[in-house]
Copies of this chain bind each other. A is one copy, B any other.
């Protein structure tokens, strides 16, 4: 099981931005999983910040939602 402890800032930022980007695309987690060729439960756990996601998978997810990876690691306005 992924641990709930010691989530990094970067993880949580990526998680919340990925979710935001996915919803902007009106994609379900399943739709995003299909586009990025990752598993639905994996995408869900990334969005909860539970996964120490790798740079290759971060890039696949960024491409799937049409964002630059660096923007998925930038704080959003009002946060």
Residues of chain A whose beta carbon lies under 8 Å from any beta carbon of chain B = 8-11, 14, 52-56, 58-59, 62, 68-71, 73-74
Q: How many Å from the CB of A79 to the closest CB on chain B?
A: 14
Query: Chain A interface mostly helix, strand, loop or mixed?
Result: helix
How many copies, total? 2
Q: Which residues of B contact A69 (CB under 8 A)?
A: 10, 73
From B54, B55, B70, give the contact of A74 (CB < 8 A): B70
> Is there contact, CB below 8 Å, between B52 and A8?
no
Distance in angstroms between the alpha carbons of A74 and B71 in the assembled complex: 9
Chain B residues with Cβ below 8 Å from A73 are 68-70, 73
Bound-complex Cα distance A62 to B13 (A): 15
